[in-house]
């Protein structure tokens, strides 16, 4: 748990933090409309589009979350030589995020288009390449990472499994001795040895160690920690809250959502608040609790949402 005084103290210190985000940069596109009939061509709804909006997604949503919390944020990622890449850079600058975007001529900027009607997501369309990065692009990423590393307090690795995270990135971050917070994809599980903490959801946690669904969560968590030589792990459990592993102890943190409209970006909010709070002097339990409150807020909003310091404190105080 966390007291009002501690919440106020930690949240106030967010503005003094500086964090680097590394990962898969994504443009989230939303088509909002109404459904009044079924298509005569196939048994599918016809959506009459009323408006179109864009948000930062993937690693860039993590950066947006951190910046919204008041954290000085720099992001390192890959975009294509296209209009979406230019749009992401402009949106990052507009949100006071320092962009370090490597342009890869061989791949498009990742775009996820969501079609929404009557407060429901009807369909998602992805445009992306998940091929491994070329050697020259990897070298550019590592050079940029080395350039920014001395000026930040910690790293958030936001892995959406699109090919941007590779072994040398993790090894370099570990070599700096600075805290490393990872939102993982199971296929890259073995890359994350000696990091500070990772925040998989329950499904990802089981996939990471190829565990059967009847294995107790505690055993899954301990396997992850042992295989990656970690002392701390946070598994998010959706409506069941979170499980925080510290050494040999496990604490359950109940969910705080009063309503759930859209889980898009909830994991990004969790790792952002967790990192900001821990680097501000919070304990793991305090930091996970604040992250839990933040996630409870964003799942009650339609579309990608972020939490400001005022919203986070108000959410804590409302319970």
User: Could you tell me the CATH number of the domain that includes residue 53?
Assistant: 3.40.1190.20
Burial 189-209 (b: 16+ CB within 10 A, else e): bebbeebbbbbbbbebbbbbb
Q: Which domain holds residue 99?
A: 4-317
| Cβ atoms 250, 234 nearer than 8 A | no
How far is residue 94's CA from residue 105's CA, in Å, rounded to a whole number?
25
Note the pLDDT of residue 91: 98
Which pLDDT tens digits describe the chain residue by residue (319 residues)? 788 899 999 999 999 999 999 999 999 999 999 998 999 999 999 999 999 999 999 999 999 999 999 999 999 999 999 999 999 999 999 999 999 999 999 999 999 999 999 878 899 999 998 888 999 999 999 999 999 999 999 999 999 999 999 999 999 999 999 999 999 999 999 999 999 999 999 999 999 999 998 999 999 999 999 999 999 999 999 888 899 999 999 999 988 755 555 455 689 999 999 999 999 999 999 999 999 999 888 877 766 678 999 999 999 988 7
Among the listed residues 49, 50, 54, the one whose alpha carbon sits nearest the alpha carbon of residue 30: 54
- The pLDDT value recorded for residue 296 is 86
| Nearest of 256, 238, 72 to residue 151 by alpha carbon | 72
Structural domain total, the chain:
1
282, 10 Cβ separation under 8 angstroms: yes
- How many whole angstroms separate alpha carbon 195 and alpha carbon 157? 10
Question: Residue 100 has which token pair?
Answer: 């370090």
| Set 262, 268, 310, 314: catalytic member | 268
* DSSP codes of every residue in 28-66: EEEEEEEEEEE-SSSSSEEEEEEEEEEEEEEHHHHHHHH
User: Nearest-CA neighbor of 84 among 106, 110, 58?
Assistant: 110
**Residue listed under structure tokens 């962009």:** 99
Main-chain dihedrals φ then ψ at residue 209, nearest 5 degrees: -110, 15
Residue 108 tokens read as 């498009």
> Is 310 one of the annotated active-site residues of the chain?
no
């Amino acid at each position: 748990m966390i007291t009002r005084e501690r919440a106020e103290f930690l949240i106030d210190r967010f503005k003094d933090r500086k964090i680097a985000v590394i990962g898969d940069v994504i443009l989230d596109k939303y088509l909002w409309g109404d459904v009044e009939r079924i298509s005569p061509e196939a048994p599918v709804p016809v959506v009459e589009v009323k408006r179109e909006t864009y948000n930062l997604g993937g690693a860039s949503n993590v950066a947006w979350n951190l910046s919204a919390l008041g954290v000085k944020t720099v992001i390192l990622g890959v975009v294509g030589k296209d209009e979406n890449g230019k749009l992401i850079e402009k949106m990052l600058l507009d949100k006071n995020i320092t962009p370090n975007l490597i342009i890869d001529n061989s791949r498009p900027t990742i775009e996820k288009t969501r079609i929404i009607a009557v407060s429901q997501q009807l369909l998602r369309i992805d445009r992306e390449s998940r091929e491994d990065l070329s050697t020259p692009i990897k070298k550019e990423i590592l050079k940029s990472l080395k350039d920014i590393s001395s000026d930040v307090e910690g790293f958030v690795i936001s892995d959406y499994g699109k090919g941007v995270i590779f072994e040398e990135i993790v090894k370099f971050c570990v070599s700096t001795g600075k805290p490393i917070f990872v939102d993982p994809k199971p296929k890259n599980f073995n890359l994350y040895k000696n990091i500070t903490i990772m925040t998989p959801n329950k499904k990802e946690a089981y996939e990471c160690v190829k565990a059967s669904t009847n294995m107790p969560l505690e055993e899954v968590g301990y396997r992850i920690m042992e295989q990656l030589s970690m002392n701390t792990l946070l598994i998010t459990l959706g409506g069941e809250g979170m499980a925080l592993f510290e050494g040999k102890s496990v604490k359950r943190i109940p969910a705080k959502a009063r309503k759930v409209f859209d889980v898009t970006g909830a994991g990004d909010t969790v790792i952002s608040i967790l990192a900001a709070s821990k680097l501000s002097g919070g304990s793991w339990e305090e930091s996970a609790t604040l992250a839990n409150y933040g996630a409870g807020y964003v799942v009650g909003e339609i579309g990608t949402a972020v939490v400001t310091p005022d919203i986070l404190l108000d959410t804590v105080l409302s319970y």
